[in-house]
Structure 1
Amino acid sequence: MESRERCNRQLRTDPCFANPKGRHAAAPTVIVIGSGFAGLAAARTLYDASFQVMVLESRDRIGGRVHTNYSFGFPVDLGASWLHGVGKENPLASLIGRLGLPLYRTSGDNSVLYDHDLESYALFDMDGNQVPQDLVTEVGQAFEKILEETDKIRQEHEEDMSIQRAISLVFERVPELRLDGLPHKVLQWYLCRMEGWFAADAETISLKCWDQEELLPGGHGLMVRGYLPVINTLAKGLDIRLNHRVTNIVRRNHGVKVTVEDGRVFTADAAVIAIPLGVLKSKIVKFEPRLPDWKEAAIEDLGIGIENKIILNFEKVFWPNVEFLGVVAETSYGCSYFLNLHKATSHPVLVYMPAGKLARDLGKLSDEAAANFAFTQLKKILPDASTPIQYLVSHWGTDVNSLGSYSYDAVGKPHDLYDRLRTPVDNLFFAGEATSSDYPGSVHGAYSTGLMAAEDCRMRVLERYGELDLFQPAMGEDTPLSIPLLISRL
C-alpha cells in the first residue's frame, strides 16, 4: 500500500558531475549517499554553501526511515513520527516552526514512559478488563524504584550486563519490589514500553549505557501532518538521484569514486555517508580501501533495533478517548500497545507498534497476517471492535534499504561507538542517528549529525584546495529567528 508517488518535483536524472579536472573553477563537489534526514540536512547545508551536491538514494522516494504515507487519504507516518524535545533546544524546532507544522504533545518532561504521560493510557488484561488507573500509577512508581536500584547495581559492577539481568538482581536484593498477579503484568507492560523506546529486547540493552542519551526538555510531540513536509523542504532544489543503490565507495587522495548497482560511476571531492547502520552492518556497500579497524568495530558493535508499525484504519472510533491502549501480560513479549491517532488527528486510526523479537517474528508474516495479528490483539481488549477497512505494515527490519529501525547501546559495548562512527575517514564524512552520541535513534539526532558532517566536509575540502576563509562563520551560526511551535493537547 505504500505510495509510489515521487514527493519532490526537483528530482533529476541528468548526467553526473563534470570531469573532476575542471570542476573547481565552479565549486567543490560532494556526493551524499542517502536521502534520509541526515543526508538531506548535509546536502541542503552544503548546497547553500555553494557546493555542487549530488544525492544518491537507493529507494524510489526520499526520506529514508521517515515515510509519510497518504494511501488512506490523509498522512500517516510509517517510520519516525515524533519530535523528541518540543522546545527551542531541539535543532529541528526552528524549521518545523517556520513551516507552521502542528505538533500534538504526548508527554511533558520526566515521564517514566518517555514519550507519553501516564494519564494518557488505558490498560487492559487479556480478558478485556481495564486495569484501574491507580494500579497503573502505583506500578509506574515501582518501576522507577526498580530502575533506581539498577543504577546501584551498575555502580557496583565493573562489567556490563543487560537491563533484564539487572532487574532480576534487583528482585533478589529487594524482594519487596517483586510483583505478582496483575501488578506483575502491568510491570511487564512498562518493560515492554521501555523495549519499544530502544526497539530492542531488555536482555540485549546495556545497563551501563541505556540512559546516556540526552533527553531535551519540552516533552514529546507527534507530527500531526507527518514528517514529509520537512523532508520536502530540505530536499527542494537538490540534485537527487532515486533508484541509485550504491555498491562501492573508493576514496583517493583528491576525491571519491562511487559506483551504483547498474555500474555507473560518480566522482567528487568528498562524500557524506548517510547510510543506515543496518545497511553498513550488512556490508552491502564495499569500501576501498577498507575502513579502519576502529570504524568497522563501531559498525559491528552498535546495536540496531527493530520497531514496526501496523496501521489500522477504521470507519469510526469505538475505543476510549486516550492516546494509547495497552495490553498487559505475563511477559513483555506478550504485552502490546496501540497509538490512538484519532486523539491527535481526528482520523479513526490505531497504530500497533511491536518492537524487538515480536517485531522480528511479525516481520516474517504477510502484511495481511500481520494486520490480522494486530486486530486479534485489539479484539482481546475490545471484543466489539469493528474490522479495519484498510491497513499498512512497515518492514524496517527486512527492508534492504534500512535493515533495522534505529540504533541502541548493546550489552558490553561502550557508548562512544556513536562518536567513532561519526568520525571522518579521509574525505568520507559520516552522518545519521547512529552517529549521534547525544541523540541516538532520533530524527533530530540524524538532522544534527547531517549538519555536523556538512561543516566537517566544508572545512576539509576548502582547506585542501586553499579556499578556506578562517574568518567566515561556521555554517549554522546565523541562527534564524525563533518561531513558536504549534502545540496542542486535547
Structure 2
Amino acid sequence: MGASFIHGPDVNNPVVKLNHQFNLPIADTDYTGWLAVRENDSVPYNETSVEAAAVKMNTAFKAVEHLSSDLEKDISVHSALRQVNQYQLIEDPLSQTFLAEHEFFFGDTVDTLSTKYLYDGYLESLLGNRRAISVLKDRPELSDGSSSTYPPGPGSHGVDVQEDKRVVIKCRNGQNYEADAVIVTLPLGVLKTNDVKFTPGLSTKKKGAIKRVGFGTVNKLVLEFNQQFWPNDTHHITVAKRDNAERGKFSILSSFQPIVHKPVIVTYAVSQIGEESETLSDAELKDIALSRLRTAFGTSIDNATIVNLSRTNWKNDRFSRGSYSFPALGIKAGDWEALGEAEPPLFFAGEHTQAKQYGTVLSAIETGRRAAAAVETYLKSDIAASVNVSYILIPAVNQDGRFGLGLI
C-alpha cells in the first residue's frame, strides 16, 4: 500500500534494478490512456481538450518556475500562480484535475507548497519522464472488505547517546538495545510529533528543519472488482469536479490491471481531504469511488461489485504520521541537507533527507546507502577507535508495517 510509481524507470534507476533483482512485475504507464469526464453530465472530454488542459497546466507551472528565481520573499504556489496571471486560466474543472495530480505528487496543495524551493529540477523530472507502476508480487494484498490494519509493534520511544558515544534505544515494551551507531530512518511525520525522544536533543539546525519541511498526506483506496468494466487502454480516469475545493477527493483513479492482472482500481485523496478520508467508513469510501466510476462509465458498472477493499490511513498511523515530504511555505535553504546531516553516532536516512527526488523510494534508497557508507567510515575512524563494535541497529519498517531493529 506504499509507493508504487517509479519516476524515470530507466535501467540505471536503483529502484528498477531492485525490481529486476527480485523479479518483480513492472508496467510502463505514461500520460496517455486518459479518460476525463465532467461530473455534472458525465460527458467525456475529447482528446484535444485533455491535451490542451495538460499544456495549460505545464505552462502555468513553468511561469511559476520562472518567477521563483526572482523571488526575495517566499510565497505559496497558489499565490505565485495568481501573480503570474495563470490561476484564472486553470480554474476550469478539467484543468483542476491536472492540478490535483500535481498536488498528489507533492503530497499537499498549492496553498502550502513553497514557490522558492519547489524548483530544483525535481518538478522537471516528474513532468518530463515516463513513469512505471510496480508492486510486490500478488499485491495489493486486499483484505476481506474491512480496513487494513497493522498489529501494534513495540516501536522505539527514546534514543539516548551515552558519554562514551554508545547508543541506547529504548522501546515502549521496556526492552533496550545498545549500539555503536544508529541509522535513524524515522519518517519525518514521526520526527515532527516528537514521539521518539533524543537524549541529548538533536541539533537546533535539525530541529528547525524538521519543523519547516512539510510532510503531506496522500491516502489510497484500492478496489478489486469481480469483473473489469473499463477498456484495457484506459490507464487513468479523472472526474472533473464542479467544486474545485474537492479536486483532490478521489477524483483521479488508476487502473492497476496491467500490473496485477486483476480488475483493480486505485484512487487517491490528498492533503486535508486525505486526512478527512480517514474518518470515513469503508462503506462511505466505496460509495464515493462508485459514484466517480459511475460518472465515467455509466451503466457499464451495474454488474460490477467490489470483492475486496484496502485503504491507507497514513496520518493516523503512529509509525508514519503522513505520507512523504514536500517543500512547505516557510522552508529555508539547506533544510533538506540539515535533515540528512549526521550527528555521530546518529546517522539519518529517508526520502526526506535530501533535496533531490524528495518523497520517492529512489531518495530513500540513495540516502540509506549514503548513511551506511558514513557509518562504515565512522566506525573505522579515530572517533570510534576505542569502541568495541558489536552491531549496528537500524530502526526501520518491516513487512508488517511495524518498526523494528535491523542488525548488520
TM-score grouping bracket, smaller chain normalisation: 0.7 to 0.9
Deviating more after overlay: 149-158 vs 339-348: 149-158
TM-score by length of 1: 0.70
Q: Return 5+ residue gaps in structure 2 as ranges.
A: 141-151, 388-408
CA-based RMSD: 2.4
Q: Return the alpha-carbon distance in structure 1 between the equivalents of residues 70 and 372 of structure 2.
A: 41
Decide whether aligned partners of structure 1 residues 224 and 257 sit closer, same or farther in structure 2, where only a CA change above 3 A counts.
closer
In structure 1, what residue type is equivalent to 2:110?
A
2:74 aligned with 1:160, yes or no? yes
Which ranges in structure 1 are unaligned for 5 or more consecutive residues? 1-77, 108-116, 230-241, 469-490
Could you tell me which residue of structure 1 aligns to residue 165 of structure 2? 254
- Equivalent-residue separation in structure 2 for 1:189 and 1:446 (angstroms): 28
Q: What is residue 358 of structure 1 aligned with on the other side?
A: 273
| 1:210 equivalent in alignment to 2:128 | no
1:150 to 61, 64, 69: 64
What displacement does 1:355 show?
A: 1.0
Structure 2: how far apart are the matches of 1:442 and 1:223?
A: 13
Amino acid at match of 2:35: A
Q: Contact (CA 8 Å) 1:304, 1:405: kept in 2 or not?
A: yes
Distance 1:201 1:428 in 2: 33
* Structure 2 Cα separation of the partners of residues 414 and 213 of structure 1: 17
Match for residue 282 of structure 1? 193
For residues 380 and 323 of structure 1, the distance between their equivalents in structure 2, rounded to whole angstroms, comes to 16
Taking the aligned partners of 1:218 and 1:193, their CA distance within structure 2 comes to 15
Give the letter for the 1:382 counterpart: F
Compared CA separation, residues 224 and 251, structure 1 to 2 (3 A): closer
For residue 300 of structure 1, what is the aligned residue in structure 2? 211
Q: Is the 8 A contact 2:214 2:327 kept in 1?
A: yes
- In structure 2, what is the equivalent of residue 12 of structure 1? none
Offset at 1:202? 1.0
Q: Write the distance in 2 (CA, Å) between the matches of 1:357 and 1:179.
A: 21
Out of 288, 301, 304, which is 1:373 matched to? 288
Q: Structure 1 stretches (4+) deviating beyond 4 angstroms?
A: 226-229
From 106, 116, 124, the counterpart of 2:37: 124
Could you tell me which residue of structure 2 aligns to residue 190 of structure 1?
Answer: 98
Q: Distance in 1 between matches of 2:90 and 2:111?
A: 19
Shift of 1:393: 1.1
In 2 relative to 1, CA 372–161 (structure 1 residues): closer, same or farther, beyond 3 Å? same
1:416-453 Cα distance to aligned partner (Å, 9 max, x none):
21110110112000111011221210011101111111
Q: Per the alignment, in what secondary structure is the counterpart of residue 353 of structure 1? A: strand
Which of 301, 304, 320 aligns to 1:402? It is 320
Q: CA deviation at 1:389?
A: 1.8
Partner of 1:389 in structure 2? 307
* Residue 10 (structure 2) pairs with residue 87 (structure 1): yes
**SS of residue paired to 1:344:** helix
1:31-67 deviation digits (Å, cap 9, x = unpaired):
xxxxxxxxxxxxxxxxxxxxxxxxxxxxxxxxxxxxx
**Partner Cα separation in structure 1 for residue 260 and residue 59 of structure 2:** 35
| Structure 1 residue 218: Cα displacement | 5.8
Secondary structure at the residue paired with 1:351? strand
Residues 138, 260 of structure 2: 8 Å contact kept = no
- 2:131 corresponds to which letter in structure 1? H
| 3-state SS in 1 of match to 2:269 | coil
Counterpart CA distance in 2 for 1:228 and 1:131 is 32
1:102 and 2:43 are equivalent in the alignment: no
Q: Distance in 1 between matches of 2:135 and 2:313?
A: 22
Matched residues in 2 for 1:281 and 1:228: separation? Answer: 31
Alignment size in residue pairs: 363
Q: Percent identity between the aligned chains?
A: 25
Q: 1:415 to 1:350 in 2, by over 3 A?
A: farther
Q: Is the 8 A contact 2:134 2:259 kept in 1?
A: no
Distance 1:439 1:326 in 2: 26
Letter in 1 for 2:255: N
Residue 21 of structure 2 aligns with an amino acid whose one-letter code is: R
In the other structure, the counterpart of 1:433 is 351
What's the TM-score once normalised by structure 2's chain length?
0.83
Q: Deviation of residue 157 (structure 1)?
A: 2.7
- Which amino acid in the other structure matches residue 358 of structure 1? I
